Amino acid sequence: MVGCIDGLEDSGLVRREHHPRDRRAYAVTLTPEAEPALAEAEGGVPRLLDRAFGALTAAERRTLSRLVGQDPRRELSPVDPGGARRGSPPRRGGRQCP
């Protein structure tokens, strides 16, 4: 995440400011230069959703929206019991921001 923010900051699209109540944290805010890029990205969201979920019926889309909107702290049974175990640490690796 830090690498992504570094790149956005270097491009002049965001700025970091010390968090007003937490000295350990920074607040990241958009600069005015970021507004056109944000508007362009937001404009593409409906097309992306149509491409990603176009095969679903309206009822299936509503169900998916309802499920995705659930409280993330809710316990879910693993789909693949052989997959990642609960409590395993997240993987670290040099994943770069696109």
Q: Which residues pair with 57 in a beta bridge?
A: none
**Ordered domains of the chain (ranges, CATH):** 2-68 (1.10.10.10)
Question: 21: which 2 tokens?
Answer: 């109540």
CA distance 4 to 86: 28
- Residues 33 and 13 sit within 8 Å (Cβ to Cβ): yes
pTM for this predicted structure: 0.48
CA distance 25 to 31: 19
pLDDT by residue (tens digit) across 43-97?
998 889 889 999 999 899 889 888 888 766 665 555 555 555 445 445 555 556 6
